[in-house]
Structure 1
């Protein structure tokens, strides 16, 4: 005999009044009986029994249940032991463990499923799991949800045409599968009877049953659950069999990549025959709607009610209003100073989140040095900088950074601090110089240990991984023409176009500034417009600002402290936030890898 059948037999043959009357002094009150509760200090009778329901409840400590529950509590035994003890009273054998396991392997009949569900429903009050997940008693009773005491599992029935046909068991023990269905059964959608309910015009479709229950608990709107976003086929079969009319469907899957992808798949399968929309998770930091309810009930209710208004109009202005206000209040809205006053003036304050900035350069004008100095300026402001080097190894990049820092330390010492890079290469630096260099290096590492991130390679794949883990990132790329896109390409122009597309996706996804170096057309070196850029089309239409970096003189200016310096002109040929044609003048000190701004009217030019 199966366990649920034994339980049913016990409850039919052992009267709860007779059984509890053995242990407590009962007093009749109307159609009920009352007594002092044995489970807490009770001076006034708060323990009541209803013979018609074969159920007891204490209004003092909240304990309640049937005759088996009483035996469990009174003798402090588990479910199996209580059933065994009561079964022996009526001459039943619970059978061996092996017999029970063999029985469980057989496919359950509908009658067995119903008996199991009804038994577990009577023990729903023995667990706090439903309350912990925000599910009220009214829904527990409506859907006959219960608690399998024997297996420490939550039981969630599946109805069809008003009748129980299956269930989902949510195991609470970590050593068991999280969800199980009756032996021989597959996943069946929850609450599909909604498709036949003409009173329900709006139908949410969720992944899990607790998500569907959450929606109903929050806004009183019954919902369907697929029992996993991968179970679309079963739902669509029922949907297309019923073919409901005058309904709007709202797909609300989990707030992750898998949920988003599955929601789009289901949307595409439904959109030609039904009114359907995908609920947007923008701004909500929770993994699913049930977690949302547990953490912020009021906000969850607002979120769901908003979906009913706006889900079918995802691109309407009203959808962006709240997000835009948050943007205005955030640090992302303000321009970020580049650390170069003239450059900030041209850009109306500096770099802005969600924009791409490109610097085109001839060879030997210090384009990588300029990018590294920009990075240092942002690091000093507390930003996290990600440098993707498609050309140089990280050792070369670090050497340039530390040589600049060493050169700056020695910049006012008339013992040449410049060209220390050459001394490192030729191993001619003195011991004192090496000690100073190592000290400078260690200080820089201490300051920016987790702020500066250097990637080597010609693909943008790893960039996503890094940016996902940072709070205030800025991306730097050196340089565009060496990068390889994820998609196949047929020409150099197409390659750069695809790379630009990937950079657009990154800047929009993370809402950050992206700064890139580009090479110039050799045939157009002397052009002072956008045509000087290699594959200029993508640069022209996709960037917020573009600058040409060109050496303005052939002869270097020598300084006893800084070495040889060249004048570099930055000509603005594209500027979404200001005028074009403006020139910025800087001095590039190659020996110490340093750019300095100089006045355009400087007579030394």
Structure 2
């Protein structure tokens, strides 16, 4: 296929049409700060999310998926760590609006509990029709087929949430394999999938252990960072707040953990940060100025 010399005055009208249509396909409602940091939910973009331990990145991913599903955007959740019922369990707790916690959910589910019944009904009506949780081993071609099926069935691309990147990338790598190459290839393949179907893709990533206690981090914080750095559009990093290691440890023990979500790389949003509160017991993030006591 040859390349022709065509000056932009001949292409301007087509470019302008694309510029006008290049708008977010959705916006997050439970955490509006995500719209400020990322510009909204853009089709075909790949976002990676990393976090220090105990900051709740899996919960954050699930809340984002539920948020979009409530708005009618199909959401596919690939859960390589938690079984599907655990993912749904967290959603039910969020739907209870604080009526019961993760430690209570089994007990209330086994008795005639009105709060559980109400949470289940809300989840069944408002979220479940637009969420698909995959907890079995999945390859990139498998995922592409599911995304394609969703486009065919619903007439629109789904948002795809992967928990988490390194586990899926290295699931078929033996001890003699190079994990960095596996991660690089996985990110490239997932990026191709996102662009092919115009599906926004959100990937949880592990971080380097040497970065656990660092306050100032860059894209090298992610495991397999070179492959991630050059294969993604957005990068978010979640860290517990505190100026010292002792203060950060104390904050991790609070009922509402103060955490900060930082944008390290963005395509349409802006590099910045947002202060959040992580309610681990109720599997919910709140923006700091909206946090429930």
Deviation at 1:492, TM superposition (A): 1.3
Check conservation: 1:379, 1:385, Cα contact below 8 A: yes
Distance 1:472 1:539, change over 3 A: same
Inter-CA distance 484–530: structure 2 relative to 1 (3 Å threshold):
closer
Gaps of 5+ in 2: 151-155, 242-247
Cα 1:437–1:578 shift into 2, 3 Å: closer
Q: Which runs of 5+ in 1 are unaligned?
A: 1-276, 278-311, 412-416
Partner SS, residue 566 of structure 1:
strand
What is the TM-score of this pair, normalised by structure 2?
A: 0.80
Tell me, in whole angstroms, the C-alpha distance in 2 between the residues paired with 1:315 and 1:482: 45
Give the deviation of 1:441 after TM superposition: 1.5
How far apart are the structure 1 equivalents of 2:109 and 2:25?
42
User: Relative to 1, partners in 2 of residues 1:480 and 1:316: Cα closer, same or farther, differing over 3 Å?
Assistant: farther
Deviations 1:553-572 (A, max 9, x none): 433599xxxx9110111122
Q: TM-score, normalised by structure 1?
A: 0.41
CA offsets per residue over residues 320-362 of structure 1, 9 Å max, x none?
A: 87875664565x6336323322222222x31322211111012
Deviation at 1:465?
A: 1.7
Instruction: Verify the 8 A CA contact 1:551 1:569 in the aligned structure 2.
Output: yes
2:134 is the alignment partner of 1:455: yes
- Determine if the alignment matches structure 1 residue 436 to structure 2 residue 137: no
1:499 alignment partner in structure 2? 186
Which secondary structure state, in structure 2, belongs to the residue aligned with residue 495 of structure 1? helix
Which entry has the higher C-alpha Rg, 1 or 2?
Answer: 1
**Conserved? CA contact 2:109–2:116, under 8 Å:** no
RMSD: 3.2
Residues 1:473 and 2:153 aligned together: no
SS of equivalent to 1:505:
helix
The answer to whether the 8 Å contact 2:93/2:119 transfers is no
Matched ranges for 1:159-198 at <5 A:
none
Which residue of 104, 112, 115 maps to 1:423?
A: 104
Counterpart contact for 1:487–1:498, Cα < 8 Å: no
Tell me how far 1:459 sits from its aligned partner.
Answer: 2.2
> Does residue 571 in structure 1 map to residue 262 in structure 2?
yes
In structure 1, distance between residues paired with 2:255 and 2:172: 44
Match of 2:235 in 1: 546
1:346 equivalent in alignment to 2:37: yes
Counterpart for residue 55 of structure 2: 365
Asked if 1:386 is matched to 2:71, the reply is: no
**Contact 1:358–1:516 (CA under 8 A) maintained in structure 2:** yes
The answer to whether 1:535 aligns with 2:224 is: yes
Distance 2:265 2:41 in 1: 14
Instruction: Give the 3 Å change call, closer, same or farther, for CA 313–322 of structure 1 in structure 2.
Output: farther
For the residue of structure 1 that corresponds to 2:53, the secondary structure is coil
Relative distance call for 1:450 and 1:539 in structure 2 (3 A) is: same
CA contact (8 A) 1:459 1:486 kept: no
Residues paired across the two proteins, number:
273
User: Does the 8 A contact of 2:234 with 2:266 survive in 1?
Assistant: yes
| Residues 1:445 and 2:135 aligned together | no
